[in-house]
């Protein structure tokens, strides 16, 4: 499982010119489900994202999580993060999960964040989306939770 996490002041998702979701302050998470991902990777990723201490405390030090700040999370499924570029210039997406299983795990990921009392907004799975954001910092992190088979 792979995530690109950005601390944002604001983020929104548009589909066919219409805003379908937005958050004011928190995290924008682009999430890729890999073909061998299971519940174990999901739980680890939920914990990592919810617990990331990347928000400033009263002294300006990055010491607070999105849970601590009461921020929101916008989750956008993005299979292109599973791209393998080892051969040539055209990415291979063979590592990405099939859409049906990926959607289930993305939904479970969102539910896991909600269970941690977070407000969660989402993109539309499989849609052509335009994501608008104001990155705060900028703070952008790449997270990998490999499967038991050791994939990256």
d(CA 102, CA 109): 10
The tokens of 105 are what? 């795990």
In the set 41, 78, 95, 122, the catalytic residue is 78
Is 79 assigned a catalytic role? Answer: yes
Contact 141, 5 (CB under 8 A): yes
In the set 39, 80, 115, 140, the catalytic residue is 80
Is 80 assigned a catalytic role? Answer: yes
> How far is the first Cα of the chain from the last one, in angstroms, to the nearest whole number?
8
In the set 79, 95, 109, 122, the catalytic residue is 79
Contact 69, 51 (CB under 8 A): no
CA separation (Å) from 50 to 14, 18, 34, 45, 100? 24, 28, 20, 8, 25
Residues labelled catalytic: 78-80
């Amino acid at each position: 499982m792979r995530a690109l996490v950005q601390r944002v002041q604001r983020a929104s998702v548009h589909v066919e010119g219409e805003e379908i979701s937005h958050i004011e302050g928190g995290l924008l998470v682009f999430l890729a489900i890999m073909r061998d991902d299971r519940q174990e990777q999901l739980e680890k990723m939920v914990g990592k994202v919810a617990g990331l201490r990347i928000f400033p405390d009263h002294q300006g030090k990055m010491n607070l999580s999105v849970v601590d700040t009461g921020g929101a999370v916008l989750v956008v499924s993005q299979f292109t993060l599973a791209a393998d570029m080892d051969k040539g210039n055209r990415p291979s997406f063979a590592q990405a999960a099939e859409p049906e299983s990926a959607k289930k795990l993305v939904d479970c990921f969102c539910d896991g964040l909600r269970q941690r009392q977070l407000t969660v907004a989402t993109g539309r799975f499989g849609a052509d989306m335009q994501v608008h954001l104001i990155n705060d910092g900028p703070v952008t992190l790449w997270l990998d939770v490999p499967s038991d088979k050791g994939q990256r």
